[in-house]
Amino acid sequence: MLRFTLAGGHYDRTQALIDGGVKPSGVELTYLPMRPPEIFRRMLRYLEFDGSEMSMSSLLIGREQGIPLVAIPVFPSRKFRHSYIFCNVDAGIREPQDLIGKRVGAREYQLTANLWIRGILKHEYDVEAKDIRWFTEWEERIPVGTIEGVTVKRIPEGKTLDGMLINGEIDALIWPNIPNSVRRRSAKVRRLFEDYPRVEAEYYKKTGLFPIMHTVVLKRDVYERNPWLAVSLLEAYREAKERCFRQMDDPSVHSLVWFEACKEEQHRVFGSDPYPYNIRENRKVLETIIQYSVEQGLTKSPFSIEDLFAKNTLDA
């Protein structure tokens, strides 16, 4: 048995790996459930784990900088991103074009969420990254360098972008999750796309893109010594996901009042599985994020998908 330590987020689709209900073949797995931002920094800077969940944007940047990681086609986090653009109600922002010239906050510039939103703004609404004044709260997890035509400024220590949004010190905020101002129903903050379920469903119908946020990576030397490991982990992730889906068939275990209606609508839009773990069904999404990374100056030249993923998982 190969001992393998993997750091990943705590999702319903990974619960069976966390609690040991699913065990990868030939592997004594230690799954460390952690917050993804911490995982990414520790893996990118120190290669601290045998494998981990990984930001797609940071994976592209890291591979170009020579960080020795190889991915498998597991995508534990996906989100539409129209619903994560928040505006100060007094900033005069009613549509995407109103972001031009505005002060927009982002936790880190390189976040995958921000990469997707900038790509959506460019390709769907003709708003370029250089049209916006960017403010960040955190140090970049790995360096991205200067991007031509783009202004990015760190906010002062002790301030938060969410607080600055409420106070009107920035006009809008792109955030990976729901900021506290929205959770607390601040009267000073609204979504740019208030009817976001409709907007995101129309975007998916038009483009076929359900944005991938994270994948799973192995240290390259671990993979090269044990190439079978990539397939073993892939199959285990798939089984954990299927167990989650089977549990969802019992509405009595869920607290959402309209759970069945939500599940039926999801099935109507996506079919039986919105989270396929393979290259074939995700090729367009992966090619799009690679394209966006180059367009936005985070990487200099496009990778092929075959450059990023373990060869024995490309057709698995």
Q: Over the stretch 124-158, which tens digit does the pLDDT of each residue have? A: 999 999 999 999 999 999 999 899 999 999 999 99
Q: Over the stretch 269-281, which tens digit does the pLDDT of each residue have? A: 899 899 999 999 9
pLDDT at 248: 87
- How many structural domains comprise the chain? 2
State which of 176, 207, 238 marks the end of a domain.
Answer: 207
Low-confidence ranges of the chain (pLDDT < 70): none
Structural domain harbouring 37? 2-78+211-313
pLDDT at 211: 98
State which of 207, 239, 273 marks the end of a domain.
Answer: 207
Question: Do residues 60 and 133 both lie within one domain?
Answer: no
pLDDT at 169: 98
CATH number reported for the structural domain that contains residue 18 in this entry? 3.40.190.10
pTM of the full predicted structure? 0.96
Question: Do residues 177 and 227 both lie within one domain?
Answer: no
Question: Do residues 60 and 13 both lie within one domain?
Answer: yes
Question: Do residues 125 and 185 both lie within one domain?
Answer: yes
State which of 182, 207, 232 marks the end of a domain.
Answer: 207
Question: Do residues 135 and 53 both lie within one domain?
Answer: no
Question: Do residues 134 and 201 both lie within one domain?
Answer: yes
Question: Do residues 42 and 135 both lie within one domain?
Answer: no
Q: What does the chain look like in DSSP terms, one character per residue?
A: -EEEEEEE---TTTHHHHTTSS--TTEEEEEEE--HHHHHHHHHHH--SSEEEEEHHHHHHHHHTT--EEEEEEEEEE---GGGEEEETTS---SGGGGTT-EEEES-TT-HHHHHHHHHHHHHH---GGGSEEEESS--SS-----TT-EEEEPPTT--HHHHHHHTSSSEEE-SS--HHHHTT-TTEEESSTTHHHHHHHHHHHH----EEEEEEEEHHHHHH-THHHHHHHHHHHHHHHHHHHHHT-GGG---TTHHHHHHHHHHHHTT-SS--SSGGGHHHHHHHHHHHHHTTSSSSPPPHHHHB-GGGTT-
